[in-house]
Amino acid sequence: MVYQRRMPHRELFCAQLELLMHSGRSTMVVTHMVGVAVAAFLLWPYLGWGATLLGAAGFLALLLVRRPYAQGMLQRRFESAPGPLFWQLLAGAALTGALWAVIYIAAAAVVPVALQHVLLLTITSIAAFSIGFSVVVREYFLAQVFTSLWPIAWWNTANYWQQSHNLVIGLALLAFCAILMMVCSQAYAAFRNMIALNWEREQTARELGDLTGSLRLRNRELQAARRQLSNLANVDELTGLGNRRLANSVLQEEINRARRNHSDISIILLDVDFFKDYNDTYGHLAGDVVLKTLGRLMERACGRAGEVVARYGGEEFLLILPGASSAAAQHTAARLQELVRQERIAHRASTAAAYLTVSQGVVTARRNAELQPEDLILAADAMLYRAKARGRNAIVVKTPPAG
């Protein structure tokens, strides 16, 4: 079962800052520039082009000062230094909002009431529009509202005696601020839940992916372990050849195949001559080297695909030759005998030769012969016994009659 963790507070805070900066990087600048254009259009007949352009330039300079949007995204400061970046963004929002409040209060003394209302509508629209992208960080939006609309509302309320409608405007703005705060809180909670939920889903997907990868790895390791165990169960540790268990299994399969295909199968059972005397003379380590060497020579002697060499027990080896006729099996036995002779492994305790020799019993089962593996092994063992009785270093062949 995957444990779905909750999003850490710091990571959630960094994600909020990233979303705010990503969504507000251009929207904030465009919104305020539109507001500045509207304000300049309304005020220039009363303030003159010089003062109007100077004020607009100052406002745009303030927007340029608020570079943390671009710099923070490029430098990813929302991850490395979220705290300082948060306060920098908050200060920028507060300064911008306060500047709008100052513009309105200053303009109220020189412009007609109708234009004053248009300017107020512009400032209110900017605040309302910014809720869509800035509410992801609630404090950022509240800083804009409480430094722009809140002072204007109280100024209208406090100066109710100048205009009969100032009190209505002030109270309406206070109510509007309260509504914005309520909407802000609900949207803020929704944004936080959305960010946390997406993070938890990503974590769950990542953990499931890791778990799947881990299971795949464990499955591969288990399959490798099974193959290794199978090899250990079927391979002779000393020579690296198949062991008796593998030889019996392969022999049964090849007999069944020969019966189905009406083909021949031959086996060679061989024994190292006077191997006990060799161990007594040269030591068991030297005897192990001899067995390894014989294994290599037998693999060289078997040149056809499907032929299997196995250590059947002690110094006995079994060669399984599927599809080999009696003549082909004799040829393989003779080739092996010659390879052993060429190796010239000294064996002074042998009475058969000055060098190490092997005795071989060869048996071929004709097509359709109803033989079992034990029958072939027993027949090959009988031939091997005859080879030893003939003085060893010999090959004795038997071809059972066709069934």
Other C-beta atoms lying within 10 Å of the C-beta of residue 8: 11
What are the residue ranges of helices labelled H in 302-368?
A: 326-343
Contacts of 20 (CB under 8 A, 6+ apart): 89, 133, 134, 136, 137, 140
Residue 233's alpha-carbon distances to 32, 119, 222, 254, in angstroms, are: 80, 91, 16, 20
Give catalytic status of residue 374 as yes or no.
no
Report d(CA 258, CA 251) in Å as an integer: 10
For 24: left if phi > 0, alpha if psi spans -120 to 50, otherwise beta; the answer is: alpha
DSSP summary character for residue 235: B
Q: What would the two tokens of residue 301 be? A: 């002697």
8 Å CB contact between 350 and 330? no
The helix (run of H) or strand (run of E) holding residue 293 is: helix 284-301
Task: Please classify residue 89 by burial: count the beta carbons closer than 10 Å to its beta carbon, then call 0-12 exposed, 13-18 middle and 19+ buried.
Answer: buried
- Quote the distance between the C-alpha of residue 17 and its chain's center: 30
Report d(CA 67, CA 363) in Å as an integer: 94
Annotated catalytic residue within 315, 316, 338, 370: 315
- The residues carrying an active-site annotation are 315
